[in-house]
Amino acid sequence: MSSLVGRRRNVPWIHRWSRQMIGAIAILGAINTAYITITKLSKTVAACPTSGCERVLDSPYATVFGLPLSVFGLAAYVGMAVLALAPLAINPEQNRKLRTTLEGLTWRLLFIGATAMTVFSGYLMYIMVSQFVSKYGAGGICYYCIASALFALSMLVLTLLGRDWEDIGQLLMLGIITVMVTLIGTLVVYAPISNTAATSQVTASGNTGPAIANTSSTAEIELAKHLKQIDAKMYGAYWCPHCHDQKELFGQEAAAIYPYVECAPDGVNSKTAICQEIAPKIEKQTGQNFGFPTWEVNGQYLTGTQQLTDLATKSGYQGPRNFKNGA
């Protein structure tokens, strides 16, 4: 008995608590990504001290396979929490063999998961710095993204230090394979997104964003003319994918007619001062942070991408409603 107690006392504290710490960090990461997912699906703006969170989280880089990237992050963190904590639910005194087998398996899966998440988060940090911080300074920082990257790195460190790895060579080989697969997969997934971002047009007076692919029918054009006539406005930013979605609903011809207010400082014909002036009024009426796009129609502020039929109804439009690009 004394020798057993001695062996237990000699186990480093980090080995005794590593799984609990990894599980706790994974839960924090799940909360972080769940919040982002909720704001994305509800089309609200995540609370943030700067506009950087909105810029990054509303960019094409934050959507993969048509879903918010945070959905995949949430699944990854939940998986890591399960891998870290599940073996602890097995009583080692009653089923030591199963506990030992499960611990050995989950440690390797934890290492693979933490390595892949760290590499992927590192790539996202590169995107944030090169595409946003380099242009907007502190206004390009996504604090939720930084938190997620730190969570991933912390789990990797705890995985490496949380147990005695007997075969370091095998672990190193496993890590190299994981890094290579993750990098290749990441580059394949983001290649189309990078190509789309590269199509953004830049003129002498500023950025205009990606070109509009859809064309307009008579209904979209007449609605755009009506919105202009009643002095309705759409506040947006060239880098905002939801704003681009709205423009695609109108189509090329109609989008050139309706009154669009560019809020990004480096956007073409920027009206940043007007956006800053109107922001408190929008937030007071809607109870939400000022985000893009926001419509101002007959004194009412409408947040998010609007269906053309809704804009027609709320603006008192009486023309044709057989919209080509959206109901």
Domains of the chain, first to last:
2-198 (1.20.1440.130), 206-315 (3.40.30.10)
Q: What are the tens digits of pLDDT across the range 189-231?
A: 887 666 555 555 555 457 777 888 888 889 999 999 999 999 9
Torsion of CA 152, 156, 161, 166, to 10 degrees: 160
Please tell me the pTM assigned to this model.
Answer: 0.68
Torsion of CA 57, 61, 67, 73, to 10 degrees: -70
More confident position, 61 or 112: 112
pLDDT at 146: 96
Q: What are the tens digits of pLDDT across the range 261-279?
A: 999 888 888 999 999 999 9
What whole-number distance in Å separates Cα of residue 108 and Cα of residue 101?
11
Q: Is the pLDDT of residue 48 over 90?
A: no
pLDDT at 3: 46
Q: Is the pLDDT of residue 82 over 90?
A: yes
What whole-number distance in Å separates Cα of residue 109 and Cα of residue 130?
32
Helix intervals (H) in 42-167: 52-57, 69-85, 96-128, 134-136, 143-161
Over residues 320-324, the mean pLDDT reads 89
In this structure, of 3-12, 149-158, 242-251, the range with the lowest mean pLDDT score is 3-12
What whole-number distance in Å separates Cα of residue 60 and Cα of residue 105?
36
pLDDT at 226: 95
Over residues 247-273, the mean pLDDT reads 90
In this structure, of 34-43, 143-152, 195-204, 218-227, the range with the lowest mean pLDDT score is 195-204
pLDDT at 128: 92
Q: What are the tens digits of pLDDT across the range 83-92?
A: 999 999 888 8
What whole-number distance in Å separates Cα of residue 43 and Cα of residue 124?
22
pLDDT at 2: 44
Report which residue type is found at 58: D
Q: Is the pLDDT of residue 140 over 70?
A: yes
Question: What percent of the chain has a predicted confidence (pLDDT) above 70?
Answer: 92
> Rounded to a whole number, what is the largest CA-CA distance in the chain?
89
